[in-house]
Amino acid sequence: MKFTESLSDVIEPKKVDQIMQAIEEAEQIVITTHLSPDGDALGSSLALFHFLKDLEKNVRIIVPNSFPYFLKWMKGAGEISIAEYNPEAARHIMMHADLIFSLDYNISKRIGLMAPMLEDSPARKILIDHHLFPGNGFHIVVSHPEISSTSELIFRLLFQAGRYEKLTRAEAECIYCGMMTDTGGFTYNSSDPEIFEIISLLLRKKVDKDDIYSKVFHNYSAERFRLLGFTLSQRMDIYPDLHAALIWLSKEDQAPFRFSKGDTEGFVNYPLSIKGIIFSTFIREDEGLIKLSFRSQRSFPCNEFAADFFNGGGHLNASGGEFYGSMETALELYATGLKQYEEILKRSMDED
């Protein structure tokens, strides 16, 4: 097939062989992914899960905490264990695994309460991820920050291992969902032509891409839209000279809108549609912590801002962080950060 010949070997062929061999040798396999799993975290995990199940492996997916309702349609989502609900059971499974996959995160801190379980487990550990700076403690590391999703890496792994013909529709759907969500429906980080060659290969597996788009992006509650309206009209500050915008929501703000996990997904992207804005921040008060999301355009490194001020990180144009303290202090820290980044913001706006 013409298309298949043009995909490059992004993953070192030697590593593909090593991973396939590790799978062959393993009996009990656990797949883990990051806190507040998103479409890519779940898409990559579930695609690998189905692949391993087809090989008749004993495989489980364990995630640190729950995930949004608009991702529950993916085949196998109902079988995922949530560590927060039963930490003892999660630890037991991790300790008895002989192979653990770490998907879509670079360091154990990103799996919260599961970090010590991963570190303590005697299993072989394989990291497959697209964030910068992979951590230590993994036996095989497949780290590709230049690739826009971990789901794409899972596709490439299976493809390079010669498993494309056997790829099922369910696997293809999970991979497509991860690729789609981590690129905002292919609106950013998605100019690599090979992405579209992969999409073509997925469509050949009867993936209904329009249906997946609908299931993920047209599945919100009415309250979510009312909350979005409130946020944009009452909780948005624009700093035109700095090309920055901030939105924020306290717990109190969220209460009247019957907040459900995932309701604020995508909020941080809206201010980027404003002319002249290249840096958008969303600060949300959660249970016991303040969660931050950052998005940027052009060369502005929102991951460095996240790392400098909010103990976070991520990609150049999409990052996150967390803060333990009051909303008021978080807002002050953001203001301090903005001042410090003034020159870089102005330069990033002018440069490109």
Indicate the angle between helix axes 39-54 and 169-181, nearest 10 degrees: 160
Q: Which does 129 bind (CB under 5 to 8 A by kind): ligand 5GP, Mn ion, none?
A: none
| CA distances for 306 relative to 278, 302, 338, 341, angstroms | 15, 6, 11, 12
* Strand arrangement, sheet containing 28-33: 81-82, 58-63, 28-33, 99-103, 124-129, 140-143
C-beta atoms surrounding 116 within 10 Å: 12
**Smallest distance, Å, CB 178 to ligand 5GP?**
11
Q: Which is nearer to ligand 5GP, 301 or 321 (CB)?
A: 321
Question: Which of 37, 68, 178, 321 lies at the binding interface for ligand 5GP (CB under 6 A)?
Answer: 321
Question: Which of 31, 40, 138, 231 lies at the binding interface for Mn ion (CB under 5 A)?
Answer: 40
- 237 phi and psi angles, rounded to 5 deg: -115, 135
Q: Which does 151 bind (CB under 5 to 8 A by kind): ligand 5GP, Mn ion, none?
A: none
The strand pair at 58-63 and 81-82 is best described as: parallel
Q: Which is nearer to ligand 5GP, 37 or 158 (CB)?
A: 37
Binding positions for ligand 5GP, 237-296, rule CB under 6 A: 268, 293
> Are the C-beta atoms of residues 182 and 175 closer than 8 Å to each other?
no
Instruction: Find the part of the chain contacting ligand 5GP (CB under 6 A) among 1-9, 18-26, 240-248, 315-323.
Output: 315-323
**Smallest distance, Å, CB 304 to Mn ion?**
19
| CA distances for 19 relative to 100, 136, 157, 285, 316, angstroms | 11, 18, 9, 40, 29
Site string for ligand 5GP, 19-58 (x = CB under 6 A): -------------------x--------------------
Q: Does 301 bind ligand 5GP (CB under 6 A)?
A: no
Binding positions for Mn ion, 227-286, rule CB under 5 A: none
**Smallest distance, Å, CB 266 to ligand 5GP?**
9
How many helices (H) and strands (E) would you count in the chain? 14, 12
| CA distances for 9 relative to 15, 45, 155, 159, 173, angstroms | 11, 21, 12, 9, 22
Q: Does 320 bind ligand 5GP (CB under 6 A)?
A: yes
Q: Residue numbers of the site for Mn ion (CB under 5 A)?
A: 40, 104, 150, 182
